Amino acid sequence: MYLALGDTASALRVTRAYLDSMPPERSTLTNEADEWSYLAVPRMLRQRGDLAAATGSVEEARAAYVRLLDLWKGADAELQPEVERVRAALAALRSR
């Protein structure tokens, strides 16, 4: 909703809260409904990087992009365009 309203700061706040509340690993004891929340992690990492970069939080953006690239280090071919986009965004941050 915040993205649709153009409220970058609030969108970043919600994205941070989502990612910071996710356990680093999925437990085998979780129920099926909890497992679906992990499917959004890559998208939220990219979104956090994009929003942090847009608000000038360069180090936070770098960290989010690096985490996503680490998560997708062995990504399938259909994800490679997204991996390249994140690599390009990370390279652009290095020039800042």
- pTM attached to this predicted model: 0.83
pLDDT tens-digit map of 14-64: 999 999 887 766 555 555 555 667 778 899 999 999 999 999 999 999 999
DSSP 56-81: T-HHHHHHHHHHHHHHTTT--GGGHH
Residue 79 to residue 62: CA distance in whole angstroms? 20
What pLDDT, on a 0 to 100 scale, did the predictor assign at position 33?
56
Domain ranges of the chain: 2-21+38-94
What pLDDT, on a 0 to 100 scale, did the predictor assign at position 88?
97
When pLDDT is cut at 50, 70 and 90, the band that residue 82 belongs to is: very high
Domain at 2-21+38-94: CATH code: 1.25.40
